Structure 1
């Protein structure tokens, strides 16, 4: 039966359904072939571009800002790694990151912000791919935010500038903004050198953000340069401490101290008060940011008298041992009066500086030509910048090219009026005097090229003036408080009334400028105290003690040999060294 049944089955024509299925499969295959040919041959660029847009990325190599150090390598400005908190609004919204209000409230609390404001920042533009929530957060904050695990919220590594010495060096170093660009001081002046260039690399990433292929370097990273200052941080700290103490004690408006190496013109210290903390500038006032040593000008008063004395010696009208008749202690010039505190009579050139005689120095100034007097002031750098190359430096106020000068103006110029200088300019002038007339530009960066020194006055005349200035700090002089135990000091006090509209007011600028050791000067120090209050406002009372402390400490730190050891000091030294039984 089965055999007969099989025999009754006859082969037939293929069913139309099979034909349809075969045709459909062929059509699909043909379409795929055509599509592949279209993609590979006719239009590959557009699709390749779309794929690259989804996978190709350019990554940057973070380059930290260069170091700033003092002359001994102590770090004054460093960059530390920190994190920034950012959001990808598109990812946050697509993954429902705004649903969990508790996490956003926790995020807002740690950032010191408002949760609603943070969420509005995300939802305001759903297509944005990047927005900062907070920059330069602490590691603890970064770790907390990471643990919140909010979709679309991430951390981006960046660097933050830190200043270990704080307010001590604030006016020299300056600071950077949140994007690490210099805004003040060395940070601003040498921003290009300190910044460098980050490296850039082209990579391909997968859907999870992982690098799957490196496609080459687009820009080679350029390392920033480190900058070494001429500042000696030990002397800088000493100068700032003594200056701040004096400004507070005399309730002064401000003050500056500049310390210069006589032989090289290198600035070893430049301190100002009041100062500020560059690591926390939330409450800093604009006036606190000024580097007063190079920006603020003042009439130097009697600290300018050695320059006028130098002009007279250079002109050859007097010799170091000559005398000047100051009788009767006053004189009228153009209806105005020039006078001393008392009639000093016939006095030596030493006494003119020792007693700070306006009459004596005025007569010397008027005995030489205007060109000789003004030319000497110009040679010592008044009216021009010091060469220190810092942003904001003032050239002072000195109209040396003015065609007409009255006798009274020339007389007052000799004792420090009719001219305004910066503390840095005055320090350069005294450094030149201490270098026996060899003038150097001031420098604050180690290794930078600068103009060679220039001999501007005769060395013997500079030595003569230095010898005269030694009497200023000796008994009978105006600055006995400037004495430095063990060292000879050559310096001059200055007490100048401050100019106001229509004349001079009741405020003073107290100053002292000098060099030591006088037998072979190593350092020049200028101290300026602006508007000291109370009965003590003379340079010999206010500025001279600061000079003594700073100069004495600096010479000790630099191991400079004393040049004025007295018998009592030798006995004291022996008693200190020899143990007693």
Structure 2
């Protein structure tokens, strides 16, 4: 039995061994097919690779560039403007523009332009057209956007409604806090764009000088316009490669070099400017005048320390903008300077040896007839010297001096003082005034020109003329920019003549003069009033221009100031009452803030004797 079991077991093992040794026949055609397939696929891949590398080698790099190359801009923010002491007058602060991609909004809410039109209905309660059927119209988020940007939601829809549009501004010059609020709304198609906003810390005080910029930071008025290219700089552009997350991984090419914006430092002293503006504003309002201007010049450098105008406006609030308020009246508005030119006529007579400082002129009986027309004084002043002619502002006395001169001599003197010429400060809109040139002059025309009629000037030109007197007859180039190294001046009238006339003008602010209100405590001042009628069609009307120009301190002049008040109303329209107090207040502040010592009375006489 055991033997039978053993034999059965051995037979099974032998059968298993035989089964393991069974092999299938090799398939030749299958091997060939697989090999050819592999070779064919490899050949196709190699052919494609060769095609791309040899026939179209730039295709892949072009496709890569489309996905990774970007042109970026490096914005050059507009330069700052400061006063001579470094106080900021105009600065650029970060701001944003909010814009929308109408296509994304339409895709998100799945409506067409036709559906927009069909959804327009008239609100029965308000009577206004509204897109009441649109889902986003009732959305609290879109209502919030409308409210924060102060844009009616109907206007938002009108912007989105534009066909084939991918970009539209919603609002510009938006501050960062509003941008953060809009970001939290997470509205589709709404994005921001960095830009800059021009801010003027001093507001209306300097608005007429600085001007303003538009929404694209381009200067459109004032210094902002005159020096636009310098202040603007140049935005740079370059090509960069970015990864899929938007990070820059390579700077490929600089397309446009960035040019940093320049900063301007003006000659203006903001402390003096603020005083000049406040005093001018007060005088214009108190006298119910229409406008006014004040200019403060450094006699020894030609720098403009203040140039105030009224009316003005706050450039930070564009709702106040009106063209007439922005005008820099100190350089644009001309007027007949009246008796403020009398010191220049006296200078001319001295220059051409038609008189001397000790001459006494008979002005009796207080009037005279020239060519059938009458020139008169307020009352008969009798026999007076040159200093008294200026102190009492005698039309007769100065007319007699002018009649001794040839017309071209008087005109040349006025031209030497800067009348009829550009002052050279390079500000947009400056007027040169009017200096008539004729072949023949009547005596009456020459006489009236000697007390400021028939010619026109600006406040800046008048201040420059008095600065020439204060500098000993030297004309310095005027500048609205701070001069670390002042340019040399040129002698336009003799030094001794300038000093002598300045001494004569001191009496104007003394008792019995036309402007005792111009006096500055602790300092000797020289000045002259001018009250002239305004010309109108057919002659002169009942409106006046009140002007005062002067300089101080007499012993060593530092500042020349001209004040013009246009059309003061009421009984107090004379320059001694209207313009002189402004001069006094502004001159006092200018001298004290600049640490100018009070006069040494002996110093002036030493200068006169040496010349």
- Once the two structures are TM-superposed, the CA of residue 26 in structure 1 deviates from its matched residue by 4.9
CA distance in 2: counterparts of 1:126 and 1:210, whole angstroms: 30
Change (3 A) 1:405 1:248: same
1:181 aligns with 2:218: yes
Aligned to 2:464: 428
Extract unaligned runs of 5+ from structure 1.
Answer: 566-581
1:545 aligns with 2:586: no
Change (3 A) 1:41 1:89: farther
CA distance in 2: counterparts of 1:97 and 1:319, whole angstroms: 94
1:53 aligns with 2:89: no
**Aligned 1:15-54 pairs, distance under 5 A:** 26-54=39-67
Q: Is the 8 A contact 1:486 1:564 kept in 2?
A: no
Aligned to 1:250: 287
**Which range moved further: 304-313 or 108-117?**
108-117
Aligned to 2:190: 153
- Of residues 114, 127, 130, the one that matches 2:152 is 114
Aligned to 1:493: 529
Change (3 A) 1:229 1:8: closer
1:477 aligns with 2:477: no
Q: Is the 8 A contact 2:313 2:320 kept in 1?
A: no
Change (3 A) 1:509 1:564: farther
- Once the two structures are TM-superposed, the CA of residue 175 in structure 1 deviates from its matched residue by 1.1
CA distance in 2: counterparts of 1:9 and 1:526, whole angstroms: 122
- Of residues 272, 291, 301, the one that matches 1:235 is 272
Question: SS in structure 1 opposite 2:508?
Answer: coil
**Which range moved further: 303-312 or 222-231?**
222-231
Aligned to 1:136: 173
Q: Is the 8 A contact 1:163 1:279 kept in 2?
A: yes
Aligned to 1:569: none
Question: SS in structure 1 opposite 2:583?
Answer: helix
**Aligned 1:297-446 pairs, distance under 5 A:** 297-399=334-436, 401-446=437-482
CA distance in 2: counterparts of 1:431 and 1:10, whole angstroms: 121
Q: Is the 8 A contact 1:59 1:203 kept in 2?
A: yes
**Aligned 1:251-270 pairs, distance under 5 A:** 251-270=288-307
- Once the two structures are TM-superposed, the CA of residue 213 in structure 1 deviates from its matched residue by 2.8
**Which range moved further: 210-219 or 130-139?**
210-219
Deviations 1:345-375 (A, max 9, x none): 2211111111111111011000111121111
Aligned to 1:577: none
Deviations 1:76-115 (A, max 9, x none): 1111111222234455555669875523332222111133
Q: Is the 8 A contact 1:490 1:514 kept in 2?
A: yes
- Once the two structures are TM-superposed, the CA of residue 183 in structure 1 deviates from its matched residue by 1.1
- Of residues 571, 574, 599, the one that matches 1:563 is 599
Deviations 1:200-219 (A, max 9, x none): 23212244433233324333
Aligned to 2:502: 466
Deviations 1:304-361 (A, max 9, x none): 1111111111111211110112222212222221111112222111111111111110
Normalising by structure 2, report the TM-score.
Answer: 0.87
Larger Rg: 2
Change (3 A) 1:176 1:387: same
CA distance in 1: counterparts of 2:361 and 2:75, whole angstroms: 70
CA distance in 2: counterparts of 1:127 and 1:371, whole angstroms: 68
- Of residues 519, 540, 545, the one that matches 1:504 is 540
CA distance in 2: counterparts of 1:80 and 1:214, whole angstroms: 28
Question: SS in structure 2 opposite 1:303?
Answer: helix
Aligned to 2:606: none
Deviations 1:41-100 (A, max 9, x none): 211324533432332111112222111111111111111111222234455555669875
Q: Is the 8 A contact 1:252 1:532 kept in 2?
A: yes
Change (3 A) 1:147 1:489: same
1:77 aligns with 2:90: yes
**Aligned 1:527-538 pairs, distance under 5 A:** 527-538=563-574
Q: Is the 8 A contact 1:93 1:126 kept in 2?
A: no
- Once the two structures are TM-superposed, the CA of residue 492 in structure 1 deviates from its matched residue by 0.4
Question: SS in structure 2 opposite 1:178?
Answer: coil
Deviations 1:263-307 (A, max 9, x none): 111110000000111111223211111100000000000001111
1:455 aligns with 2:494: no
Change (3 A) 1:153 1:33: farther
**Which range moved further: 33-42 or 487-496?**
33-42
Aligned to 2:127: none
Question: SS in structure 2 opposite 1:404?
Answer: coil
Matched residue count: 562
CA distance in 1: counterparts of 2:175 and 2:239, whole angstroms: 30
CA distance in 2: counterparts of 1:447 and 1:97, whole angstroms: 64
1:11 aligns with 2:48: no
Aligned to 1:571: none
Q: Is the 8 A contact 1:487 1:564 kept in 2?
A: no
CA distance in 2: counterparts of 1:47 and 1:175, whole angstroms: 50
Aligned to 2:77: 64
- Once the two structures are TM-superposed, the CA of residue 3 in structure 1 deviates from its matched residue by 7.1
**Which range moved further: 420-429 or 318-327?**
318-327
- Once the two structures are TM-superposed, the CA of residue 118 in structure 1 deviates from its matched residue by 2.6
CA RMSD of aligned residues (A): 2.3
Change (3 A) 1:73 1:7: closer
- Once the two structures are TM-superposed, the CA of residue 249 in structure 1 deviates from its matched residue by 0.5
Change (3 A) 1:3 1:298: same
Q: Is the 8 A contact 1:97 1:151 kept in 2?
A: no
CA distance in 1: counterparts of 2:248 and 2:409, whole angstroms: 75
CA distance in 2: counterparts of 1:43 and 1:81, whole angstroms: 47
